[in-house]
């Protein structure tokens, strides 16, 4: 195998609770994570030249050790004493700095790709271990599907797949710093917390309406005050027929759950016309396991 093409799928948080802050600055969380059908594409190719060459379709993205893809590949090349070089082309479609794990899922795809290309023989548990060194969301992006995420995000418990629905995603033309959001989160002032256990029960029952009713994200207590457009988009999605709408991760991306395709498409078109968001997508939940498209 000399080259491989991979899809790196985005995620949303159906529920996000922050339980406390550790002495090292990390936060303990309890979240319901869900993969969605919006993805980046990664093309990895062995070369005779030494080193890593990374290029992307977005000129402002770093192409060195400041990029998680580069760091993932570099880590495994060093760990397994891999000689020669590798050329990587990253096509970004997931919004950047959006709370959808775009960087983490690219990193996960790079780890998976290296394991396949060089026949490293790493099982998923070992890939999780490497992934957790690079980012808290990377293990989930390797697993994909639906899961409870605990600890700092690295403790994963698979859940029944989310019932079929339509997910409207809107990212306003702002970027939100994850560090800013967590640094300004006042855990003592959070009054409404997501019902994670209730959502797990709803997933077990495959009840989309109960799942939607329990969607909540405590990080909105920080972001909505600073960026009111997040709440404007949420309310707009609800007025356009969403069962519920919340922010994903640390934001600023907002998503709404729809049970009817026609209603979802109408909401998509109306939201685009209102110009509240810079990027708007209509997707479905994604459940397929990590796969590759190898080429000899």
Residue 221 CA to residue 123 CA, distance in Å, equals: 39
Beta strand pairing call for 166-171 and 254-258: antiparallel
Measured between alpha carbons, how far is residue 273 from residues 123, 176, 192, 242 in Å?
47, 24, 33, 17
262 is catalytic: no
Residue 135 CA to residue 112 CA, distance in Å, equals: 15
* Rounded to 5°, angle at Cα 103 from 293 and 69: 60
Tokens of 181: 């959001």
Q: Which of 17, 40, 106, 137 is catalytic?
A: 137
137 is catalytic: yes
Q: Which of 11, 17, 106, 234 is catalytic?
A: 11
Beta bridge partners of 20: 28
**Residue 70 class from Cβ within 10 Å (0-12 exposed, 13-18 middle, 19+ buried)?**
buried
- DSSP code, position 66: T
Residues taking part in catalysis: 11, 137
């Amino acid at each position: 195998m000399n080259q491989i093409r991979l899809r790196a799928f985005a995620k949303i948080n159906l529920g996000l609770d922050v339980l406390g802050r550790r002495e090292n600055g990390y936060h303990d969380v309890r979240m319901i994570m869900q993969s969605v059908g919006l993805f980046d594409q990664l093309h990895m190719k062995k070369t005779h030249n030494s080193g890593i060459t990374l290029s992307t379709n977005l000129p402002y993205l770093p192409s060195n050790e400041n990029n998680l893809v580069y760091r993932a590949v570099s880590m495994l090349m060093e760990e397994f004493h891999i000689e020669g070089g590798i050329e990587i082309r990253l096509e970004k479609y997931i919004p950047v700095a959006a709370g959808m794990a775009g960087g983490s899922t690219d990193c996960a795809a790079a780890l998976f790709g290296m394991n396949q290309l060089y026949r490293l023989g790493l099982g998923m548990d070992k890939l999780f271990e490497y992934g957790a060194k690079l980012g808290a969301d990377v293990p989930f992006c390797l697993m994909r599907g639906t899961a409870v995420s605990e600890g700092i995000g690295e403790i994963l418990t698979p859940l029944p797949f989310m019932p079929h629905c339509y997910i409207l995603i809107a990212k306003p033309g702002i970027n939100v710093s994850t560090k800013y959001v967590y640094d300004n989160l006042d855990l003592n002032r959070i009054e409404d917390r997501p019902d994670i256990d209730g959502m797990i029960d709803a997933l077990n029952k495959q009840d989309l309406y109960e799942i939607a009713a329990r969607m909540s994200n405590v990080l909105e207590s920080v972001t909505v005050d600073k960026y009111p457009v997040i709440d404007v988009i949420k309310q707009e999605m609800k007025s356009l027929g969403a069962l519920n709408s919340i922010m994903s991760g640390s934001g600023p991306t907002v998503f709404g759950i729809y049970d009817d395709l026609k209603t979802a498409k109408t909401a998509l078109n109306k939201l685009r016309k209102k110009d509240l968001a810079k990027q708007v997508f209509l997707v479905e939940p994604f459940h397929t396991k990590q796969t590759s498209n190898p080429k000899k």
